[in-house]
Amino acid sequence: MKRPAPQKITILGATGSIGCNTLDVIAQLGGRAAFEVEALTGHANIGLLAEQAKAVGARLAVTADEGLYGALKSALAGTGIAVAAGASGLLEAAEREADLVMAAIVGTAGLAPTLAAAARGADIALANKECLVSAGPLFVAAVAEGGGALIPVDSEHSAIFQSFDERQRHAVERLVLTASGGPFRKMSREEMAHVTPERARAHPNWSMGLKISIGSATMFNKALEMVEAHHLFGVAPEAIEVIVHPQSIIHSMVGYSDGSVIAQLGAPDMRTAIGYALAYPRRPALNVERLDFARLARLDFEAPDEVRFPALRLARLSMERGGVQSAVMNAAEEVACAAFVAGRIGFLAMAEVAEAVMDEMTGWPPAETIEAVFAADAEARRRAADRINRLERAA
């Protein structure tokens, strides 16, 4: 894969944590001399989206919220930047000619536009892990048919991508995903029952969006990453391990049949993984913190506790059951996470809701089409919402 310079890039989810870091990396790599920004998308933060679009000279700016079309239009009046909104606007952003699409929308909302970009043959820098969790086989097939590259941005998967030598695929024994353990790594289940959303969103090492921060406290983020790794690398679920590594310095590892383990290390800064995806197959020069091993002194590891963090068990269960179970797990967790953030349910109820909805939907037919994935996703959301209403009434 060789992209022309300047590379044409589109960022889906430009106003989020990954999106803002991507714009920072673009600036570090030479700004307009290195990248032509075709389209940027956002949701509610119109001020930031307009400011970003003007700063990089984007051709198109899109808000996912149709009701904010007018606000975006007036914020960009006189700039010559085209404006669109809603689901069709997101699709237009994805379908416009760009060599590389950064998929950084959060949740299943990113699935349709990312699929469209993949089918068109763009290289995909994938942060939006929910695409692979909900629609793994369909998404991988769309990328293969489109003919573009799929480059992971999730730090664990970027680390594995960098450590996984395709010529040695026959000898790959296991993928080892590292997990920080989140803010409640040492907390008892009894204490967890009473934690507030404010405490759950404060991640010890990484600064990230709301959903992934909560997902880090429950370890649902790691659960999604197990499924993501399974589809990205075509490795069996039994060969995917999780190890808690509180310093987040080793970003993940690949174990081979000769006993060797190859790891990628770095400071916990998403810009390294983003830069790797943007420059691939070259390596960019980035102004990020360098590791000082003498100062680090030690790296710690501990086995994850699946009783306190049932999400890991649910990820394995979803892969064993197959079909739409991973999509169901993700959708139910997304709804439960929003309910927890709104103060409607407790911290432990998030996994309970996800597991109950997964159990209810074990007989659901496997999804052959993306519409079938959306149908299972919608059903899981409806059932999760019902359950949350009942929990709230009982409380």
Judged on CB neighbours under 10 Å (0-12, 13-18, 19+), 65 is middle
163 is in an annotated binding site: no
2 is in an annotated binding site: no
Q: What angle do CA 333, 234, 281 make, to 5 degrees?
A: 100
Residue 116 interaction partner, one of Mg ion, ligand NAD, none, beta carbon < 5-8 Å per kind:
none
Q: Is 178 in the site for ligand NAD (CB under 6 A)?
A: no
Which pair of structure tokens corresponds to residue 189?
């289940």
Which pair of structure tokens corresponds to residue 194?
């009473």
Alpha-carbon distances of 89 from 40, 43, 67, rounded to whole Å: 11, 11, 12
Short-list 128, 123, 98, 125, CA closest to 111: 128
Residue 334 interaction partner, one of Mg ion, ligand NAD, none, beta carbon < 5-8 Å per kind:
none
Contact 23, 56 (CB under 8 A): yes
Q: What angle do CA 143, 146, 151 make, to 5 degrees?
A: 40
User: Collapsing DSSP states into helix, strand and coil, what is residue 194?
Assistant: coil
Task: Choose which of 38, 154, 269, 334 interacts with Mg ion (CB under 5 A).
Answer: 154
Q: Is 355 in the site for Mg ion (CB under 5 A)?
A: no
7 vs 155, beta carbon nearer Mg ion: 155
Binding mask of the shown chain, residues 122 to 141, with x at each position contacting ligand NAD by CB under 6 A: -----xxxx-----------
Query: Minimum CB separation from ligand NAD for residue 365, in Å?
Result: 26
Residue 16 interaction partner, one of ligand NAD, Mg ion, none, beta carbon < 5-8 Å per kind:
ligand NAD
180 is in an annotated binding site: yes
Q: Is 271 in the site for ligand NAD (CB under 6 A)?
A: no
255 is in an annotated binding site: no
Q: Please list, in sequence order, all residues whose beta carbon lies within 8 angstroms of the beta carbon of residue 246, skipping any fewer than 6 positions away.
A: 180, 181, 185, 204, 300, 302
Contact 82, 59 (CB under 8 A): yes
* Residue whose C-beta lies closest to ligand NAD: 16
Which pair of structure tokens corresponds to residue 130?
């929910």
Query: Minimum CB separation from Mg ion for residue 156, in Å?
Result: 5
130 is in an annotated binding site: yes
Stretch that binds ligand NAD, among 73-81, 203-211, 304-312, 367-375 (CB under 6 A): 203-211
What is the rounded CA–CA span in Å between residue 155 and residue 194? Answer: 30
Task: Choose which of 136, 182, 183, 209 interacts with ligand NAD (CB under 6 A).
Answer: 209
What is the Cβ-side half-sphere exposure of residue 119, based on CA atoms within 13 angstroms? 12
What is the rounded CA–CA span in Å between residue 159 and residue 264? Answer: 5
Which pair of structure tokens corresponds to residue 245?
């590594």
Please, which of residues 12-71 interact with ligand NAD by CB under 6 A? 13-19, 42-43, 64
Contacting residues toward ligand NAD, per CB under 6 A: 13-19, 42-43, 64, 104-106, 109, 127-130, 154, 206, 208-210, 212, 270
Q: Binding site for Mn(2+): which residues?
A: 154, 156, 225
Q: Binding site: which residues?
A: 15-18, 45, 128-130, 154-156, 180, 203, 209, 216, 221-222, 225
Contacting residues toward Mg ion, per CB under 5 A: 154-156
